[in-house]
Amino acid sequence: MSAIVTLKKGEGRLIKAGGMWIFDNEIDTITGSWENGEIVNIHDFDGYPMGRGFINENSKIRIRLMTRHIEQEIDEAFLRMRIQNAWDYRKTTVDTSSCRVIFGEADFLPGFIVDKYEDVLVVQCLALGMEQFKEQIVCILKEVLAADGILVRGVYERSDANERKKEGLPKVKDFIGEPFDTNVEIVENGVHYLVDVVNGQKTGFFLDQKYNRLAMQRICKGKRVLDCFTHMGTFALNAGIAGAKEVTGLDISEFAIEQARANARLNHLEDIVHFKCANVLDELPRLAAEGEKYDVVILDPPAFTKSREATKNAIKGYREINIKGLKLVKDGGYLATCSCSHFMTQELLAKTVKEAAKSAHKRLRQVEFRTQSADHPILWAADESYYLKFYIFQVVEEK
């Protein structure tokens, strides 16, 4: 018999709105015996059944919901249903050659992520309660993909994020199953990349910007482009393959720059797309002092904030980088700017970019606003699933 968690009166606002989390301060009582990671039943203050989820007293997110049906067994049939639904959704909405197959809470498998790079899967488990299902999910997912003729060559686990500490879990980087060559060639928007799933950022590559990169192809044709925080050269190479005249990519990581150069050679773009290892915040003022101007400037910085408390400093960082970037855009040129922190809301980013434009004496005409690729679905009422905000502007001098 599962333990019963009863909420305080007036609490449980997130899950009542369609979210997946219950915080420690929302719980009134827990009856019955339980261990961290186990499935418990959740009742409202008046005994109304609200669903089932796994509990972890190490985390402020005390319970993550698995189902809203109190009678539902969390068994193989349940997991297969969740995985099949996730895959069917991807087949409908995105190019599945390389994509995120499972996106945690937004696919109703909280704290569990799987990215597919061609025939390789990379798994990230961020919640204690999902550890028990990890290998079972991988096994079922391989069967689901095989039914569509996709044979998985290997599976690697990249559970090395800091969130694991909050769950009382150690960091893990290892093969699930037999070892294999972990350098994988993928094709996205016509661009070839070598993805290193062991040493690359996150699970090896940022799949969430796929269609934002594609949107920039049209704008970069025939243009002089500056791609800041280029990482593996993703936006720079999309510009190059679209027919940009000249592209420069900047990143502080020598490892990332070497990967970017290898990717440029892979696409026969090394004569057009060049990369430089540099601190973007220092390099942009230097370029401005030299009188450099670009038709297109792309700003894809890392998350300046990973907590609500650090948001004030993050706003300063986003404002500063946008001022510096705007000063390098030719009159009538284009700026692409984004934030990948869910604490930096769309409204906050828009306000910050507006202030930056005022400081740089530029006027902005919005071309479009975009978010993360559809394989990273945004679950309404689960704010943490909405994190990527992406603006494209035309930049006009004040005159």
pLDDT tens readout for residues 332-343: 999 999 999 888
Helix axes 346-359, 311-326, angle to 10 degrees: 40
* pLDDT for residue 399 is more than 70: no
Residues 6+ apart with CB under 8 A from 309: none
Average pLDDT over residues 325-336: 98
Beta strands in the chain (DSSP E): 4-7, 21-23, 27-31, 39-43, 49-55, 61-67, 98-103, 112-117, 120-125, 154-159, 172-175, 183-188, 191-196, 224-228, 246-251, 273-277, 294-299, 329-339, 362-371, 389-397
Average pLDDT over residues 226-235: 96
pLDDT tens readout for residues 129-173: 999 999 999 999 999 999 999 999 999 999 999 889 989 999 999
Domain annotation for the chain: domains and CATH numbers: 4-67 (2.30.130.10), 76-186 (3.30.750.80), 206-397 (3.40.50.150)
Q: The pTM is what?
A: 0.94
DSSP letters of 235-262? HHHHHHHTT-SEEEEEES-HHHHHHHHH
Average pLDDT over residues 336-361: 94
> Could you tell me the CA-to-CA distances from 323 to 101, 209, 291, 311, 357 in Å, in that order?
37, 23, 16, 18, 7
Average pLDDT over residues 327-353: 94
List active site positions.
340
